[in-house]
Amino acid sequence: MIYRKVQEVGKGTLLISLPKDWVKKYNVKRGDILELEVDQLGNIILCLTKKKFSQNLSIVDCKQKSLRLILDEVAGAYLLGCDRITVSNLLQVKSSERENIRSFLSKLAGLEVIEEDRDSITVEFVTDITLLNPNKILGRMSLLTKTMFLDSLNSLIKRDVDTIENVIKLDDEVDRLYFLMVRLMRSAIQSPEIMRKFNLSAIECLDHRLYASLIESIGDYAYIIAANIKNGIHPLNDELVDEFIEIRNFFENMFDIAYKAYMAKDVTLKESILTVSDNVEKKVDSIRTLVINKPINEISKIFSILSAINFVRKALVDVTDLTTPSIKIIA
């Protein structure tokens, strides 16, 4: 935290000095124009009208690192908002790992390869983030994860292998949008100008980040259900099919309520989703009772699916917890 004492010069003119480290970092000079903005809480936000950032570059060195660590460092650089990422010392990794790295880079939205040789790959973020709409990205994520989850339940009910493969493919697209959303929100938090273009407050940026995380995790659990079915599960009897159909129908309603509640900030929908959530929980308990006498390997797979269903149920309830009523501040 930096503190400045208000000084007075002349007849009633008040001033404070600019932090030396900030001035040096952004190369602020005498005569530069600064922009002042007052937020809803009365805080003054100071911005450079023409930012003079140095090249935002991150270098990921592959030497003596596992593929997992390399990919984690690349993802970290992307999420932190680095404009250019260079993966170096690629001769130190296997050719198959190089292809995995290249494939991972291609899945990060907005990145394009601008340089590549035998020992390195350099990518650059070429998208103007101020032209993106965070609400539309969240809407797309919500639709994809709803589709994934309901299709995973449909594939369980109908034994539809093609549907299972589609769920698995959609998971990559959800991850791609999630990484982009985190990057946007981190950039907005650090830049009042970007936050203003997105028409979001700092709290709304944090809520969007959490909402995206919850939705992305729903996609992961839809993938788990699909993977359990793909790995082999005995056809369900008619009684179990009926139970899972009811669960699927409940979730169609839950997804719609959660998305509407969050986007409209409608707290009145909280009670509705809790009612549906209770119904799902009862159905899950009922299915556990029905399968208790099945072979242990079948019980294990069905219980894994039920655990995924319970997680998604709780995640959608958590989404509605992010709704906040409009508060009128009286001076």
Q: What is the pLDDT of residues 4-27, one digit of tens each?
A: 888 777 666 778 888 888 778 777
> Can you read off the two tokens belonging to residue 118?
């035998």
> Can you read off the two tokens belonging to residue 187?
């950039």
Residue 111 bridge partners (DSSP): 125
| Whether residue 329 has pLDDT greater than 60 | no
| Whether residue 150 has pLDDT greater than 70 | yes
Contacts of residue 325, Cβ cutoff 8 Å, sequence gap at least 6: 265, 267
| Whether residue 39 has pLDDT greater than 80 | no
How do strand 34-38 and strand 111-116 relate by DSSP bridges? unpaired
Task: Please state, in angstroms and rounded to a whole number, the distance separating the CA atoms of residues 323 and 329.
Answer: 18
Whole-prediction pTM: 0.79
**Architecture in CATH for domain 57-125:** 2-Layer Sandwich (3.30)
Predicted local distance difference test score (pLDDT) of residue 51: 47
CATH for 130-321 is 1.20.58.220
**Architecture in CATH for domain 7-48:** Ribbon (2.10)
Least confidently predicted of 14-18, 120-124, 143-147, 310-314: 14-18
How many CA atoms are closer than 13 Å to the CA of 161, on its beta-carbon side? 4
Higher-confidence residue: 6 or 139?
139
Q: CATH 2.10.260 in the chain, residues? A: 7-48
CA angle 4-8-12, nearest 5°? 135
Q: Are residues 59 and 86 in contact, defined by beta-carbon separation less than 8 angstroms?
A: yes
Report the pLDDT averaged over residues 40-59: 66
Q: CATH 3.30.110 in the chain, residues? A: 57-125
How do strand 84-88 and strand 57-61 relate by DSSP bridges? parallel
Report the pLDDT averaged over residues 236-258: 93
